[in-house]
Structure 1
Amino acid sequence: MTRIDLTPLYRNSVGFDRIASLLDNALRGDTSAGGGYPPYNIEATDENHYTITIAVAGFEESELELLTERGVLTVRGKKEAEETERKYLYQGIAARAFERKFNLAEHVEVTGAELRNGLLNIHLVKEVPEAMKPRSIAIKTSEPALENKAD
């Protein structure tokens, strides 16, 4: 695996450490435990709205936790211990604990979440502050200065 040295980025910039960290993590790949579990989709529902759908079959609402901190959405699931011992002949439904993290772009906020039919839908919206939105600036034409002629 090729490793990219991001040191020059740190030498000439201030405040870009998060971007460098994101690049470093992306280049390293998803090495977290249970890399593909649980499966998920990320969907753009319109220009500034997104939905993350995570397959969490077998989990109750109380066994799921969503947190946002410093631009990272963390979704955790932990099954509570069953009161009765089951003897499975085959167990294909994974009910193991998981943690899945999503990096959020600037101004992206989680607006809500719902659990329906074994799918956890997390709704996000990108709300750019008015001061950050592009705005048009009018250009005024100036009249040439009139010279006073003394007669």
Structure 2
Amino acid sequence: MRTVLDFSPLHRSSIGYDRVFDLLEAAARTQSNDNWPPFDSVKLSEDKYRITMAVAGFSREDINITVQGNMLTVTGERKGEQEGEVLHRGIANRPFNRRFELADHMLVTGAQMENGLLVIDLKREIPEAYKLRRVEIGQTAAPATQIHSQAA
């Protein structure tokens, strides 16, 4: 069963959110059956996030992490062949390509790999121009009024 989302009420009351609506509509249209490699995404604090991917059998040299615009892409392809005759393959070694759509102002701050887990740290850095600021209400000088008295 497929649910069709109608964003027209939101379009009437919001300006500049076209990209968000496009992302939601694209997510509703696509059904990805490829869930490999498995990953966790965790919110560590108000502005810090972490993606942890299970990449057993891959080395640092086999994995490539790129960011272009708001798209984080993690690709992996094992370069070396395993020695000997494989009797059973339980550890996947197929190439993968995982994409993550990042919100505005998200930065990848680092990546580490340990014990078959790739950990990618992200941070939201909002520019000063977008942060909350208080606008002072100024006073305008009251126009001078003159009262003319008429002599009788």
- Distance of 1:111 and 1:81 partners within structure 2: 29
Cα RMSD after superposing both structures = 3.1
Counterpart of 1:112 in structure 2 is: 110
SS in 1 for 2:100: strand
Deviation at 1:87, TM superposition (A): 2.5
**Structure 1 unaligned runs (5+)?**
none
Counterpart of 2:43 in structure 1 is: 44
Inter-CA distance 65–37: structure 2 relative to 1 (3 Å threshold): same
- Distance of 2:63 and 2:31 partners within structure 1: 22
- Please say which structure displays the higher CA radius of gyration: 2
- Distance of 2:78 and 2:72 partners within structure 1: 20
- Distance of 2:100 and 2:18 partners within structure 1: 18
Counterpart of 1:28 in structure 2 is: 29
- Distance of 1:15 and 1:66 partners within structure 2: 30
Inter-CA distance 4–43: structure 2 relative to 1 (3 Å threshold): closer
Deviation at 1:131, TM superposition (A): 0.5
- Distance of 2:19 and 2:44 partners within structure 1: 27
Letter in 1 for 2:119: N
SS in 2 for 1:46: coil
Deviation at 1:31, TM superposition (A): 2.6
Letter in 1 for 2:78: K
2:68 maps to 1:75: no
TM-score, length basis structure 2: 0.78
- Distance of 2:137 and 2:7 partners within structure 1: 42
Letter in 1 for 2:109: T
Deviation at 1:69, TM superposition (A): 1.1
Letter in 2 for 1:130: E
**Structure 2 unaligned runs (5+)?**
none
Alignment of 1:2-151 (within 5 A): 2=3, 18-31=19-32, 35-82=34-81, 84-88=83-87, 90-140=88-138, 147=145
